[in-house]
Structure 1
Amino acid sequence: MDEIELRAHGKINLSLDVLGRRNDGYHEVKMIMHTVALHDGIFIKKERERGIRMECNLPSLPTNEENLMVRAAKAIMDEFSIEEGLSLRLMKRLPVAAGMAGGSADAAAVFHGINQLFHLNLSTEELEKRAVKLGADIPFCLHKGCSLSEGIGEKLCKLPTLPPCTILLVKPAFSLSTKLIYENLHLKNITDAEHPDVDRMIKELESGSLEDICALGGNLLEKVSISLRPEIQVLKDFFIKEGALLSLMSGSGPTVFGIFPEKEKEKAKMILQSLRSGEHKDLIENAWITEAYA
């Protein structure tokens, strides 16, 4: 096998809590992440000429070592002294810098692809140890489905997946800096009641009731993000008004999602059209209808 095609799935956060700041500057988190069907396309091919070359359908994205895909490829190829060349092609569909771990998912796909192409026979756990050196979300992105993520994001525990449902995703027409969000998160000013109950959501995931799971959703970072960009709250309110069981910002944002029962997929399609053409159309850069992916 000289080439491989992979899908790099985005994620949403069903619950995101921040416990404190570590001495190294990272924050301790406790969050529940779930992959969605929306994905990037990754194409990896062996080449005779040494070196790593990358191309992407979005000219704005870097294709050198600023890109996590290239860094992931270089790290594992250097470690195993792989002398063949490699070409990477990215078909970008996931929003960029939007709280859906798009770059991390792309890097995870590269780790998987090189492991298969060059028959390195590394387990997923062995890939995780290498991946976390490049980014805290990459270990989760090596998996599919739902996981509890702790530490800086690298400590993973598999959880039951969401029941069948329809998910609407909206990328607002602006971006947010993860660094800025965390710098403005002052935990000493946050009450116990403002922290999401991650442990209780885990129990509800085990029970399998979509309504009960969604009732416990929360994202502590919204407190900062909404203060900087109130449009996030406008989109959340829109989803709830339209009948979403849960509407949250994913990660540090600014992507907002709404979860609807699977039986309301046709209604969700109408809501999507309303978003694209209605009063909130100027707030959004793009919007998608998708589903939980396992």
Structure 2
Amino acid sequence: MESVRLKARAKINLGLDVVGRRENGYHDVRMIMQTVGIYDRLVVTKIEEDEVKIHTNLGFLPVNENNLIYKAFILMKETYGFKGGIEVDLRKFIPVSAGMAGGSTDAASTLFAINKLFYLGLNLRQLMELGVKLGADVPYCLLRGTALAEGIGEELTTLRPMPDCHIVIAKPPISVSTKLVYEKLDSDEVEIKHPDIDGIISGLETGDLYEVASKMGNVLEQVTIPMYPVIDTIKNDMLECGALNAMMSGSGPTVFGLFEDEERAKACQEFLRQKQDARQVYITDVFNLVNGGKK
């Protein structure tokens, strides 16, 4: 049987701004997206049966039409009409419902795998155009690296790579409804302060990690943190441990901190684990394609 093995990598948002709301309910955004070293492992095998079978190490994950892997297969099947199906072994390591695009990156890797296994000959741009039908983050998860995302997140511009650093990732044991966060942002309850997205881009252009860190900002924190103050607690703990800056990724609840010094990052990880405000705490790094990254 033909198989492909893939690393579906997570993302963080170095900056996230919401600049408008469309009539269909979608929001126009300006975000700086960055791939990190944490990844899920997928083994995708071509099978004769005209279906998708999903096996995973997490019993609570859906393995039916509610899984984006399943939806990616159906989309490709309906679009290109190839014969046969796939069997997917998913080893999940990216925190779930964490603002790190775990589901989207699994879907992106599935599109990539199907294109290869069934010899569809699609280029990256064509895969990205398909991916946006599954979710706004999927095109970026196909592109990866450092990018400015605009529109609903599907208009992508590649940026200078993020400077190398150590990243502490901490997810508290809560789930955040992205829909609810955006609904509250749309209400008159929140006085929106917009982050300096152009300042982050300037720091990337000069390769200045300190400038990138100082300009980081996420407009959704103004909604999510009042609902879940533990996010702010973890941010402050990271800063106390020596992070150049710390911020919530996406709509939360995951918090990440940037560290120049690996020992400080390790000390922060140990401190957060002992304090137990976060259930999952990892140290990872920047993943840039220019540094030899591969699918």
The alpha carbon displacement at 1:20 in A equals: 1.6
Distance 1:54 1:167 in 2: 31
1:241 is the counterpart of 2:235? no
**TM-score, normalisation: structure 1:** 0.95
Q: Which residue of 2 aligns with 1:222?
A: 221
Distance 1:174 1:190 in 2: 22
Distance 2:81 2:219 in 1: 43
Q: Map 1:27-38 onto structure 2 (within 5 A).
A: 27-38=27-38
Distance 1:189 1:159 in 2: 34
- The total of aligned residue pairs comes to 288
Q: Which residue of 1 aligns with 2:263?
A: 266
Seen in structure 2, the aligned counterparts of structure 1 residues 181 and 190 have a Cα distance that, compared at 3 Å, is: closer
The alpha carbon displacement at 1:275 in A equals: 1.2
CA contact (8 A) 1:4 1:113 kept: yes
Q: Which AA in structure 2 matches 1:288?
A: Y
The alpha carbon displacement at 1:51 in A equals: 1.2
Q: Which residue of 2 aligns with 1:286?
A: 280
Percent of aligned pairs sharing the same letter:
44
CA contact (8 A) 2:273 2:279 kept: no
Distance 1:5 1:266 in 2: 33
Q: Which AA in structure 2 matches 1:235?
A: I
1:68 is the counterpart of 2:62? no
4+ long deviations beyond 4 Å: 187-192
Distance 1:50 1:155 in 2: 33
Distance 2:67 2:119 in 1: 24
The alpha carbon displacement at 1:50 in A equals: 2.2
SS at match of 1:215: helix
Distance 1:160 1:52 in 2: 38
1:253 is the counterpart of 2:252? yes
Q: Which residue of 1 aligns with 2:292?
A: none
Distance 2:150 2:23 in 1: 16
Seen in structure 2, the aligned counterparts of structure 1 residues 68 and 25 have a Cα distance that, compared at 3 Å, is: same
**TM-score, normalisation: structure 2:** 0.95
Q: Map 1:95-114 onto structure 2 (within 5 A).
A: 95-114=95-114
Structure 1 unmatched ranges of 5 or more: none
Q: Which AA in structure 2 matches 1:213?
A: V
**Mean Cα deviation higher: 72-81 or 34-43:** 72-81
SS at match of 2:204: helix
Q: Map 1:149-188 onto structure 2 (within 5 A).
A: 149-186=149-186
Structure 2 unmatched ranges of 5 or more: 289-295
Distance 1:83 1:176 in 2: 39
Q: Which residue of 1 aligns with 2:201?
A: 202
Question: For the aligned residues, what is the CA RMSD?
Answer: 1.3
